[in-house]
Amino acid sequence: MQTITTVAELRRALAEVRSADKRVGLVPTMGYLHDGHLALVEASRTQCDVTVVSIFVNPTQFGPNEDLSTYPRDFLRDQELCRDAGVAIVFAPDIQEIYPAQFETFVEPGELAKPMCGAFRPGHFRGVATVVGKLFSMVQPDVAFFGQKDFQQCAVVRMAIDLNLPIEIVTVQTVREPDGLAMSSRNRYLSEEERRRALAISRGLFAAADKFRSGERDVEQLIAIAKERLNTVDRLQYLELVDADTLKPAESPLRRTAALCAAAYVGSTRLIDNVILSLPTPQRDSRLND
């Protein structure tokens, strides 16, 4: 495994890879890796010849009162996890490599960035879109892998399609702890008592998903089922059922795949989670071919 810190060195290394006609996968991360990140690595290794993991805590996606200075970091542990997982290249640039002096060009996302997290974290997705765009330019991967837990982020990075970038975007299912809590680097902030209360988020979402599978299609009813189980969080920031493609509020009765998304504070820690409510695909009657 190579650990690379500059764009110039990264491009030299990847030029050799591409000269051998190998498929490159990118897993963008902010480090402090966990099994959710490693699931992205495994997906990349399954679909690609060479996997690049970027590790960069991106300052432009943090607001003025958010946890940039305290965001968990353990680079040596991250390197070891990547090595054990079969990563070919860890790209770990410093801030000057990503945002050099006089940097002033940003990627401005569209309507997908406005609801949910976008409404509560002004500028967040501008920072996400910018750093992801820069990583796409630096690595030029064939495929990029993102986790479903960050559902709105997965929608925003579809900008690759808008910008005609020859990059396939793959979303990997949320990885959870055995008790259902979505894996997140921020889980380490939770005390033992807070972690127990945080389980209300996934349990509320799962309860609504169960009701959906039983046939419930009313949007308000599904939201209410989830919300009544969220009374142990300290502050529910949002709980929204949105169209999975447009992120606009879903309409009753549900006729399109939707995402039930939540953001809540437990103690001082902000956690997000979601479940996808997928409508069954109509089965084609084989007798039509008789």
87-137 pLDDT, tens digit each: 999 999 999 999 999 999 999 999 999 999 999 999 999 999 999 999 999
CA geometry: angle 30, 140, 114, nearest 5 deg: 55
pLDDT tier for residue 166 given thresholds of 50, 70 and 90? very high
Q: Packing angle between helix 35-47 and helix 75-85, nearest 10 degrees?
A: 40
Reply yes or no on whether 124 is catalytic: no
Mean pLDDT score across all residues of the chain: 95
For the question of whether the overall pTM of this predicted structure is more than 0.85, the answer is: yes
- Average pLDDT of the segment spanning 181-197: 97
Report pLDDT digits (tens) over 215-256.
Answer: 999 999 999 999 999 999 999 999 999 999 999 999 999 999
Instruction: Report the pLDDT value the prediction gives residue 280, as an integer from 0 to 100.
Output: 75
Note the pLDDT of residue 289: 53
C-alpha–C-alpha distance, residues 208 and 226, integer Å: 5
- The string of pLDDT tens digits covering residues 107-118 is 999 999 999 999
Chain segment 227-237, per-residue pLDDT in tens = 999 999 999 99
Residue of 4, 31, 37, 264 marked active site? 37
Residue 286 has pLDDT above 50, yes or no: no
pLDDT in tens, 5-45: 999 999 999 999 999 999 999 999 999 999 999 999 999 99
Q: What is the 3-state secondary structure (H, E, C) of the chain?
A: CEEECCHHHHHHHHHHHHHCCCCEEEEEECCCCCHHHHHHHHHHHHHCCEEEEEECCCHHHCCCCCCCCCCCCCHHHHHHHHHHHCCCEEECCCHHHHCCCCCCCCCCCCHHHCCCHHHHCCCHHHHHHHHHHHHHHHHCCCEEEEEHHHHHHHHHCCHHHHCCCCCEEEEECCCECCCCCECCHHHHHCCHHHHHHHHHHHHHHHHHHHHHHCCCCCHHHHHHHHHCCCCCCCEEEEEEEEECCCCCECCCCCCCCEEEEEEEEECCEEEEEEEEECCCCCCCCHHHHC
Q: How far is C-alpha 70 from the geometric centre of its chain's CA atoms? A: 20
pLDDT band for 279, please (50, 70, 90 cuts): confident
- Give the number of other CB atoms < 10 A from CB of residue 285: 8
